[in-house]
Amino acid sequence: MNKKEIVYVVSDSVGETAELMVKAVTSQFNGADVEIQHISYVEDIQDLNNVIAVAKYSHSIIAYTIVIPDLKQYLDQRAREEGIIAVDLMNPLMEAFIEKFHKVPERQPGLMRKLDDNYFRRVEAIEFAVKYDDGQEIRGIKHADIVLVGVSRTSKTPLSMYLAHKKFKVANIPLVPEINPPEELFDIPKSKCIGLVITPDKLNEIREERLKSLGLNTHANYANLERILEELDYSETIMKRIGCPIINVSNKAVEETADLILAMLKKRGVINYE
């Protein structure tokens, strides 16, 4: 059995950047048998001495993203003295920024996470969209920024995910004649609810393609034109009862529909979106 090599990922923050870089390099060696060991939130020289000791003992590489000058200099010096390969993954690009843009870096650890509040909002919105997709959890309706309603195959799920990437919490509710919509749907502000409709022939085409992709009979009731008309009539009745805006998604890309939704909600003062 081949010996597993170790790379110590060292950072004065979380160390995600260094880990991704190491994984990217590893992939270029046919997924070499490399174990990544994390040493995050390095704060002082003693932390670095511990890393240097274990790296020397295991004949390993240190890959680091340390922006505090004193710690970086100490690690570079001690690694040279001990014959350890220590690779600075951040400083070469930082130096290029300094030379080209004539700006001085903050050299404070963890700034990316402090600045990137958008990242966490996006992750939260995506998790919300997954949890409250297709009416799975009715409680999500009152916590959503946007609620989408419509019959099956009106792009509710892809729209929810697309809008989630723009940091909006979206719940979507399918409208089916045999199932009463949740009462919570009529309690939320109608302005944040959007109804999605589609022409019968387009929906018929989409549903037949869906059945084909599943290896099912295209003559199933799901794609039956009379059934489709019944569903669309029912959905519009519910949308009128809610009093929500309605968008026809026929022949529209998800991005186009999403832009219409955001423009509509911004105009009504429901969201603040740039």
For 126-193, give the DSSP string.
HHHHHHTGGGS-GGGGGG-SEEEEESTTSSHHHHHHHHHTTT--EEEEE-BTTBPPPGGGGTS-GGGE
Dihedral of alpha carbons 123, 125, 126, 130, sign: positive
Please indicate if the annotation marks 156 as binding a ligand: yes
Count CB-CB contacts under 10 A for residue 174.
Answer: 20
Please indicate if the annotation marks 154 as binding a ligand: yes
Please indicate if the annotation marks 157 as binding a ligand: yes
What single letter denotes the amino acid at residue 263? A
CB 173, CB 148: distance < 8 Å:
yes
Please indicate if the annotation marks 160 as binding a ligand: no
Please indicate if the annotation marks 207 as binding a ligand: no
Please indicate if the annotation marks 199 as binding a ligand: no
CB 256, CB 200: distance < 8 Å:
no
Please indicate if the annotation marks 250 as binding a ligand: no
Buried-exposed string 108-139: b where 16+ CB fall within 10 A, e elsewhere: ebeeeeeeeeeeeebeebbebbeebbebeeee
CB 193, CB 156: distance < 8 Å:
no
Percent helix, strand and coil across the chain, each to the nearest 5: 55, 15, 30
Q: Which residues are annotated as a binding site for ADP?
A: 150-157
Q: Which residues are annotated as a binding site?
A: 150-157
